[in-house]
Structure 1
Amino acid sequence: MQNDTNKNTLLFFVCALAILFGYQFLVMGPQQKQHEAELRAKKAAEAQIAAQPGMTIGADGQPQPMKLSRDQAKAESPRIAVDTPALSGSIALKGARIDDLWLKRYTQEVAKTSAPVELFRPEHAENAWFADFGWAGANLPGLPTPQTLWSAPAGQVLRPGSPVTLTYDNGQGLVFTRTISVDADAMFTVADNVRNQGGAPVALAPYASVQRQGIPATLGKTNIVHEGAIGVFGGVKDEKYVLNQAKYQKWKKDKPDQTFESKGGWNGITDKYWLAALVPEQSETIQARYRVVPSNGVDIYESMFLGAAKSLAPGQAINHTTRLFAGAKTVPLLTRYQYGGKPVVWWQFWNRPPSAIPSFDKAVDWGMFAVFTRPIFNILEIFYKMVGNFGVAILLLTVMLKLLLFPLADKSYESMAKMKKIAPEVEKLKAKHKDDPAKQQQEMMALYGKEKINPMMGCVPMLIQIPIFYSLYKVLTVTIEMRHAPFFGWIVDLSSKDPTTFTNLFGLIPWDPATAPLIGGLLAGPLHIGVWPLLYGFTMWLTTAMNPPAGDPMQQKIFQFFPIIFTFTLSQFAVGLVIYWCWSNVLTILQQYIIMHRYKVENPIDKLVNRLRGKPVEAT
């Protein structure tokens, strides 16, 4: 019995050792080798990425941007045409880049005959902007580069539902196949397949890059709009996804090289209205990067990501998919992609499909008052769908805001009317106690208490208007829905300033003030005051006149200049904002006029009407 027990024990240890060594040899060993290969490949890939993948490298190891005409740069490579309802352009077979795109639904100027908006332009053209996709690996000759010429069947055209296929055989055992598809709006899908037909395992890491080689002088000059690097990163160790931005100027000056680890997310480069964003598979852990590299007098801006290295044994194939958004930042479209590419339904807010892109609507710069900005945009869009005109939608929004704030504003204007009514008594108290400020203040507060007046209530409507004003300003400035949106008459673009100016009698004189010698810039700039800013100045003067006078004579003089100052200031703002403020003033005047009549307080409207009728001016 003892011998059987010893035999069984020995057999148990032999079997345990066999299982242990077998597991180590057959499972742990290959996994460890694969992990080491991935680490080596990742380090090599990072080194290769640091050498600017997608850029032309000269003999000195530096990128070599050139300045050819757009057509010359485009002619450097054979191409596959792109033709969708939203986009036109081409894909370069040299480098397999998406580098030539026009936005069919948007024109450069207001006129419908204007050329479409250009988004991407090929490398070597001035201000080149393009998307590049590829693979990096350690000591792997023959990987595709920007100079690699891919093969494609003749006559292919990329359309929705008709993907195109590109291939490249490096002659050293690796065959690359790239299938590019596109939807009807702005989303490309780049599906890469790599097959190892050689005799040795390799490790590859996928990367994708959006690059701008120089930027137009008009970009990055304003603080109200974010233009530059943008991305949403997170998901690692249950971290929340966070928006990360770098404006062009600060990106270059303060943060020329930043890295982020993220699980999924997205990153790219944005302008005021246009966006090029890379979207990895949302289950993939990536190393994202923003960087700026100066070269030959040109700043090269890049937003890219590097995926995890993948081991590829002989005879095996690996796949990797990256999406590219290249188009206009329309809020409904961004929201649709945010929730999986289909019309948003309520249950998707809690159960998003794998294709969902986290916080994609944050590509629009909603600003620090996003809690106001986004709802204001949503309300404007609802009104626009009702009436078909964003200008009218702004008027309806103003009425809605006035109704919401009516109780508070009514109390404020009532207090102001009472203060104006007792203004003569206040002046008597000031004269009576001019040598005793403490007594003067005490008597004035007693008078306010007797008449049930809160002097601070007059400031409340203005304080509430500040975040609304800023938020509407943001909406008119950053949302493409307001771009080239007409109103009535001469207003053809609510997002730009009033095109009329008093210096040519609002267009009656066929002369462009900007062409005037020496002062043309002044006439087209600070002195460019149109009809709507003047209407705003008049309504502001009227609201100021209906308010109780300031206690100090110097303050009274300053307040008298406010309508003039704000007329000049708002003349440079989006005319949609001036229309809102002017219409808001009109509604305020109407509300104040009714309240002043209720309390029989003298008001400037009745005084003006009486003067025009030749009647004596008296309180009503």
Structure 2
Amino acid sequence: MENNRNYFVAILLSVLVLVAWQFLYVSPKIERERVAAEALQAQQPAQTQATGTGNAAAPGAVSGSAPGGDAAIPGTVVAPAGSLSREDAVAQTGRISIDTPSLSGSINLSGARIDDLLLKEYRETIDPTSPNITLFSPAAMADGYFAEVGFIAEAQSGPAPGPNTVWTAAPGQVLTPTTPVTLTYDNGQGLVFTRVISVDEHYMFSFEDTIANSGDAAASVAGYGRVTRFFKPKTQGIYVLHEGLIGVVGEEGLQEVDYSDVEDTPVIVHAKATAGWMGITDKYWAAALIPPQGAGFETRFAHFTDGRARYQSDFKTDSMAIAPGGSVTSKTLVFAGAKEVPVIAEYQEENNILNFDLMIDWGWFYFLTKPMFWLIDYLYKMFGNFGVSILVTTVIVKLIFFPLANKSYVSMANMKKVQPKLEELKAKHGDDKMALQQGMMELYKKEKINPVAGCWPVLLQIPVFFSLYKVLYITIEMRHAPFFGWIKDLSAPDPTSLFNLFGLLPYDVPSFLMIGVWPLIMGITMFIQMRMNPTPPDPTQAMIFTWMPVVFTFMLATFPAGLVIYWAWNNTLSVIQQGVIMKRQGAKIELWDNLAALFKPKNKTT
């Protein structure tokens, strides 16, 4: 029947889209990512750092480019990866403690770098006793990761504070949102650097540097900043999310560089810009540098294998001239923390950071994903449960599309009512397909029926499905967000499985057999929705009609539980809506006949 054919075309299209999502966006490429850091080569002996050591060139500068291309980590005591515990690595150098509502850790006086940072409000698992998330670690550790801001001076100006420099700090200082800390460095040749580091209650550090020239000659100093990571983290390996090096570089806009891309092209240099930021991002966490805005700077993404492999995002500013007896001040911001949507948006607005919100991977369809997040987040603040807010969001979306969906269901109901007339046309025209098509079009026009109207409810669900999936997958607000019962994390798959009777049997099942309660509920609601229509007479269509819910049940079992709950609830509302409309239109609801036919004995012929 024509309406069945259109309906199944829509279903097949939706299946193809979902299969593509599963293949391109969902299935993790675990084998593709290396978990361990690259083996150390050409180990450097430990070197003793001395106060007052500066760098006359950019740390690791290559042909005047940004820092990072040296044979060893400049100014850092590099022990073999994994040879030091965190406590021992931290204890190697003088430090200033960090204590805020969101962060704890310390600043390394060697290089004045942030290389010891934990996130107080986030833990590794849903267990409240699990360790806090570690963002930064000292370079001597296998998972070394830090942010650093320094300077480069011309030879005649004397050394400038770089990675080797041990800054001077008054004892007893602790960095808090209300107590900035002050560091100083005198290069002994007329330049005195005074650094004031402050931090807010969230994740933004401010490095405000004043350079005073007490010498007799003019000096020239450029600034640099770098975020350096000594290991390649295990990434999700899916195209719906970017993890790796990231930045917004002036008119060039958003730059996303995967770890594998920068391995293939070890140094990626961008044109000079006066606005933007750069850093390294994970799924939920990020570290980013915001150079002085309005002044020129060059940005680079790099991967170095000279001695010890590392990934780096860095910048180098234009040189600043400092007249004798004069001084200059520059301010660099360092973001290090969780990618919380409202916090990122506030930083962008308050500090006028170009497209800082793109640190969160909203994707090409940001015009859908961002409004979807704001709606769910608003409802969460109202109801206190993200699962409930997803259910309410589904109702709101259904109401928004109600006129179009209602028209589609009315047209589908009318299609059922004219089935006898369609059968008459088929009997009348026989094998004359042209005449049959003309007769059907005239009948549709007379009865005011749109033969493709049945596709709309399915097609409308696809962009909503995708935007909700994106929100659940990328936003930290959904991380470890509980629903009710056994769903402790809406961003993770349903943890139960039919194949061990949902935990009653004492054994674990393979991941591909993790068919939880909510995927089963979703499959049942989809089965009921499809059985609202007549079973197609064509054997192939009938097979698809029967097995589609089973395929979707297995497919969506690997998706975030919040998405499966949305799909099940949406199916339920669609069944109710379609049933009411068909009853009002006087069309027969095929559900009960289809269910009875499943259990009716088949006639066997001999």
Which residue number in structure 2 is paired with residue 617 of structure 1? Answer: none
* 1:576-587 matches, cutoff 5 A: 576-587=562-573
Q: Which amino acid aligns with 1:455?
A: P
Map of 1:4 onto structure 2: none
Provide the TM-score with structure 1 as the length reference: 0.81
Question: Matches of 1:486 and 1:442 in 2, distance apart?
Answer: 56
Equivalent residue for 1:618?
none
Going from structure 1 to structure 2, the CA distance change for 1:179 and 1:93 (only over 3 Å counts) comes to: same
Corresponding residue SS for 1:136: strand
Q: Secondary structure at the match of 2:445?
A: helix
Q: What do the CA deviations read for 1:215-273 (whole angstroms, capped 9, x no partner)?
A: 22x22512111112222232xxxx5x722222222333357413132212222111111
Q: Measure the CA separation in 2 of the matches of 1:496 and 1:210.
A: 30
Distance across 2 between alignment mates of 1:452 and 1:511 = 58
Residue 120 in 1 paired to residue 150 in 2? no
Give SS of 1:546's match. Answer: coil
The aligned counterpart of 1:545 is 531
Whether the 8 Å CA contact 2:291–2:332 is kept in 1: the answer is yes
Partner residue of 1:330? 340
1:77–1:434 Cα change, 3 Å: farther
Which residue of the partner structure matches residue 561 of structure 2? 575
What is the 5 A alignment of 1:524-563?
524=511, 526-550=512-536, 552-563=538-549
* CA 221–472 in structure 1, closer or farther in 2 if over 3 Å, else same: same
* Residue 184 of structure 2: aligned partner: 167
Residues 44 and 136 of structure 1 are in contact (CA less than 8 Å); yes or no, is this contact kept in structure 2? no
What residue number does 1:464 align with?
Answer: 460
Q: Closer, same or farther in 2 for the Cα pair 1:503/1:220, shift >3 Å?
A: closer
For the residue of structure 1 that corresponds to 2:531, the secondary structure is helix
In structure 2, the partner of 1:146 is: 163
What SS does the aligned partner of 2:562 have?
Answer: helix
Residue 421 of structure 1, CA deviation: 3.8
Higher deviation after alignment, 119-128 or 439-448: 439-448
* Amino acid aligned to 2:222: A
Q: How far does residue 390 in structure 1 lie from its aligned partner after superposition?
A: 0.7
- The letter for the 1-side match of 2:570 is S
2:178 aligned counterpart, secondary structure = coil
User: Which stretch of structure 1 is more off in the superposition, 387-396 or 263-272?
Assistant: 263-272
Distance 1:160 1:54 in 2: 35
Instruction: Determine whether 1:94 maps to 2:110.
Output: yes
| Change over 3 Å in CA distance of 1:541–1:499 after alignment to 2 | same
> In the aligned structure 2, how far is the partner of 1:609 from the partner of 1:587?
20
- Contact 1:484–1:495, Cα closer than 8 Å, also in 2: yes
- Displacement of 1:141: 4.9
For 2:568, the aligned partner's letter is C
Is this contact kept in 1: 2:204–2:335, CA < 8 A?
Answer: yes
Partner of 2:450 in structure 1?
A: 454
Q: Tell me by how many angstroms 1:172 deviates.
A: 3.3
The CA deviation at 1:161 is 1.4
Q: Which of 181, 186, 190 pairs up with 2:207?
A: 190
Which residue of structure 2 lines up, in the alignment, with residue 520 of structure 1?
none
C-alpha distance in 2, partners of 1:72/1:44? Answer: 26
Alignment of 1:158-557 (within 5 A): 158-216=175-233, 218-219=234-235, 221-234=237-250, 242-253=253-264, 256-296=267-307, 298=309, 300-340=310-350, 355-423=351-419, 425-427=421-423, 429-430=425-426, 433-513=429-509, 523-524=510-511, 526-550=512-536, 552-557=538-543
Q: What amino acid does structure 2 have at the position aligned with 1:257?
A: I
- Paired with 2:358 and 2:547, the residues of 1 have a C-alpha distance of 40
Which stretch shifts more, 271-280 or 478-487? 271-280
* TM-score, normalised by the number of residues in structure 2: 0.83
Aligned-CA RMSD value? 2.9
- Alpha-carbon distance, 1:116 to partner: 1.1
Measured against aligned partners, the alpha-carbon deviations of 1:72-100 in whole angstroms (never above 9, x if no partner) come to 33233121110000000011111110111
After superposing the two structures, state which structure 1 stretch, 489-498 or 41-50, moved more.
41-50
The structure-2 alpha-carbon separation of the partners of 1:414 and 1:224, relative to structure 1 and needing over 3 Å to count, comes to: same
Amino acid at match of 1:263: T
Is the Cα contact below 8 Å between 1:210 and 1:278 reproduced in 2? Answer: yes
**C-alpha displacement of 1:149:** 1.8
What SS is found at the alignment partner of 2:271?
Answer: strand
Partner AA of 2:196 in structure 1: T
1:137 aligns with 2:153: yes
How many pairs are equivalent? 541
Instruction: After TM superposition, give the deviation of residue 336 of structure 1 in Å.
Output: 1.0
Distance 1:400-1:484 versus aligned 2 partners, 3 A rule: same
Q: Which amino acid aligns with 1:308?
A: D
- What is the Cα deviation at residue 581 of structure 1? 0.9
Question: Residues 222 and 176 (structure 1 numbering): CA distance in 2 closer, same or farther, change over 3 Å?
Answer: same
Once the two structures are TM-superposed, the CA of residue 48 in structure 1 deviates from its matched residue by 5.6
- Of the two structures, which has the highest relative contact order with CA contacts closer than 8 Å and spacing of 6 or more? 2
Unaligned ranges ≥5, structure 2: 1-55, 601-606
Provide the residue aligned with 2:96 in structure 1. Answer: 80
Change (3 A) 1:220 1:388: closer
After TM superposition, give the deviation of residue 431 of structure 1 in Å. Answer: 5.8
1:538-570 CA distance string (max 9 Å, x none): 111111121355574323322322211111111
Amino acid at match of 2:218: P
Larger radius of gyration: 1
Change (3 A) 1:432 1:72: farther
Residue 109 (str. 1) matches residue 109 (str. 2):
no
SS at match of 2:140: coil
AA in 2 matched with 1:474: K
> Cα–Cα, structure 1 residues 248 and 559, in superposed 2: closer, same or farther, change >3 Å?
farther
> How far off is 1:429 after superposition?
4.5
Equivalent residues of 1:491, 1:499 under 8 A apart: yes
Match of 2:272, SS state, is: strand
Correspondence for 2:86 among 70, 76, 87: 70
Deviation, 1:528, is: 1.0
Alpha-carbon distance between aligned partners in 2 of 1:440 and 1:55, rounded to the nearest angstrom: 78
Name the SS of the counterpart of 2:225 in structure 1.
strand
User: 1:44/1:311 Cα in 2 relative to 1: closer, same or farther (>3 Å)?
Assistant: farther
Q: Against the structure 1 CA distance between its residues 255 and 333, is the aligned structure 2 distance closer, same or farther, given a 3 Å change threshold?
A: same
SS in 2 for 1:161: coil
**Shift of residue 42, structure 1, vs aligned partner:** 9.9
Residue 607 of structure 1 and its aligned partner are, at CA, apart by: 4.2
Q: Deviation of residue 503 (structure 1)?
A: 1.5
The letter for the 2-side match of 1:419 is M
SS of 1:278's equivalent in the other structure is strand
Deviation at 1:465, TM superposition (A): 1.8
Task: Return closer, same or farther for 1:428/1:128 CA change in 2, 3 Å cut-off.
Answer: farther
Report if the CA contact (8 A) 1:41-1:309 is conserved.
no
**CA 1:51–1:269: 2 relative to 1, 3 Å:** closer
Q: Which residue number in structure 2 is paired with residue 21 of structure 1?
A: none
**C-alpha separation in 2, matches of 1:77 and 1:420:** 79
Distance in 1 separating the partners of 2:532 and 2:305:
59
* CA deviation vs aligned residue, 1:151-177 (integer Å, no higher than 9, x gap): 212221111110111222233333222
Between the two proteins, what is the percent identity of the paired residues? 48
Q: Which amino acid aligns with 1:330?
A: E
